[in-house]
Structure 1
Amino acid sequence: MEDVIARLVGELDADSGEVAEDAQHALIALGPRVLDPLIAAAPGLGSFGQLCAIEVFTALGDPRPGDALTRMPGSDNSVVRQWAAEALADLGIHRAVPCLSQAYEAFRRRGEDPDDCEGGALRRALTELGARDVVLPARAAALRHPVPGLGSAWPTARLADAIEDLADHGQAVLSFKVWQIGADGGVYGGHGPDIDWSIDRGRPWPQIVAECREWALLAAEATDTARNLVATICWIDAADL
Structure 2
Amino acid sequence: MTTRLKRLVQQLDDSSGPSYDARAELIGIGSEAVPALVDGLPSLGGFGQLTAIEVFEEVGDPRCGPALICLLGSDHPTVREWAAMALASLETDGATEPLRRAHRACLERATPYGVSGPGLDWEPDWTAPSEHLVEESRAWSLLEASEAPVGDDVFVAPTWIDRTDLHPER
TM-score, normalised to structure 1's length?
Answer: 0.47
SS of the residue corresponding to residue 84 of structure 1 reads: helix
Partner of 1:117: 114
SS at match of 1:109: helix
- The structure that is strand-richer by fraction is 1
Distance 2:102 2:81 in 1: 10
Task: Name the SS for the 1:117 alignment partner.
Answer: coil
3-state SS in 1 of match to 2:61 = coil
Contact 2:23 2:52 in 1 (8 A): yes
One-letter identity of the residue aligned with 1:3: T
Higher share of residues assigned helix:
2
Partner of 2:4: 4
Indicate the SS of the match to 2:155.
strand
What per-residue deviation string (whole Å, max 9, x for no partner) do you get for residues 119-146 of structure 1?
xxxxxxxxxxxxxxxxxxxxxxxxxxxx
In structure 1, give the amino acid aligned to 2:22: A
Q: Is the 8 A contact 2:56 2:64 kept in 1?
A: yes
Whole-angstrom CA distance in 1 between matches of 2:96 and 2:83: 12
Equivalenced residue count is 127
String of CA shifts for 1:190-234, please: whole Å, max 9, x gaps: xxxxxxxxxxxxxxxxxxxxxxxxxxxxxxxxxxxxxxxxxxxxx
Residue type of the alignment partner of 2:72: P
Distance of 2:27 and 2:111 partners within structure 1: 34
Shift of 1:112: 4.6
Following the alignment from structure 2 to structure 1, what is the Cα–Cα distance between the partners of residues 110 and 154?
A: 15
Contact 1:63 1:93 in 2 (8 A): yes
Tell me if the contact between 2:6 and 2:40 (Cα under 8 Å) persists in the aligned partners. Answer: no
CA contact (8 A) 1:43 1:68 kept: no
Change (3 A) 1:117 1:22: same
Q: Is 1:172 matched with 2:147?
A: no
Pair 88,178 (structure 1): closer, same or farther in 2 beyond 3 Å: closer
Q: How far 1:25 moved relative to its partner?
A: 1.1
Unaligned runs of 5+ in 1: 119-170, 181-185, 188-241
SS at match of 1:64: helix
- Deviation above 6 Å: which 4+ runs of structure 1? none
Offset of residue 96 of structure 1: 1.9
How many Å apart are 1:172 and its aligned residue?
Answer: 1.8
Paired-residue identity, %: 39
User: What is the CA distance between 1:94 and its match in structure 2?
Assistant: 2.8
CA RMSD, Structure 1 to Structure 2 (Å)? 2.6
Return the alpha-carbon distance in structure 2 between the equivalents of residues 103 and 178 of structure 1: 23
- Name the aligned partner's letter for residue 152 of structure 2: A
CA contact (8 A) 2:27 2:59 kept: yes
Structure 2 partner of 1:191: none
Kindly name which structure, 1 or 2, has the bigger radius of gyration based on alpha carbons.
Answer: 1
Unaligned runs of 5+ in 2: 116-150, 163-170
Partner Cα separation in structure 2 for residue 111 and residue 19 of structure 1: 35
Contact 1:74/1:99 (<8 A) preserved: no
1:99-127 deviation digits (Å, cap 9, x = unpaired): 211111122223457xx637xxxxxxxxx
Give the equivalent residue in structure 1 for 2:140. none
Question: What is the TM-score when the length of structure 2 is the normalising length?
Answer: 0.65
Correspondence for 1:67: 66
Matched, 1:94 2:93: yes
